[in-house]
A and B are shown apart, each in its own frame.
Chain A
Amino acid sequence: MLTLTCPYCGVSGEETEFHAGGEAHLKRFISGSTDAEFDEYMFLRENPKGVHFERWRHVYGCGKWFHAARDTNTLEVFGTYSAQVSEPPKEIKDKISAKRPGWSWRNFK
Chain B
Amino acid sequence: MSKAVSALAGAKASVLVAIEERGLQGMITLRGDFASAAFKKAVKSVLGVDLPGQRAVAVAGEKAVAWMSPDELLVMVPHEEADAVVEALSGALKSEHHLAVNVSDARAVFRLSGKDALVREVIAKVAPVDMAGFGPGQIRRTRISQVAGAFWQPEAGVLDLVCFRSVAQYVFDLLKVSAMEGSEVGHLG
Residue A11 at the chain B interface, CB threshold 8 Å:
yes
Contact A64 B69 (CB under 8 A): yes
Chain B residues within 8 Å of A10, by CB: 54-55
* Tier of interface size on chain A: 10 to 19
Chain B residues within 8 Å of A60, by CB: 141-143, 148
Chain B residues within 8 Å of A62, by CB: 68-70, 72, 141
- State how many angstroms separate the Cβ of B51 from the closest Cβ of chain A: 15
Q: What total count of A-B pairs have CB within 8 Å?
A: 36
Interface string of B106-134 (1 = CB under 8 A from A): 00000000000000000000001100000
- State how many angstroms separate the Cβ of B113 from the closest Cβ of chain A: 25
| A64 vs B68: C-alpha distance when bound (angstroms) | 11
Contact A61 B141 (CB under 8 A): yes
Contact A13 B68 (CB under 8 A): no
Main secondary structure of the interface of A (DSSP, over half): loop
| A62 vs B31: C-alpha distance when bound (angstroms) | 12
- State how many angstroms separate the Cβ of B46 from the closest Cβ of chain A: 23
| A11 vs B129: C-alpha distance when bound (angstroms) | 9
- State how many angstroms separate the Cβ of B126 from the closest Cβ of chain A: 12
| A64 vs B128: C-alpha distance when bound (angstroms) | 18
- State how many angstroms separate the Cβ of A63 from the closest Cβ of chain B: 6
Contact A16 B70 (CB under 8 A): no
Residue A9 at the chain B interface, CB threshold 8 Å:
yes
Contact B142 A9 (CB under 8 A): no
Contact A61 B142 (CB under 8 A): yes
Chain A residues within 8 Å of B141, by CB: 9, 60-62
| A14 vs B124: C-alpha distance when bound (angstroms) | 13
Contact A13 B128 (CB under 8 A): yes
> 3 closest A-B pairs (Cβ-Cβ)?
A62-B69, A60-B143, A14-B128
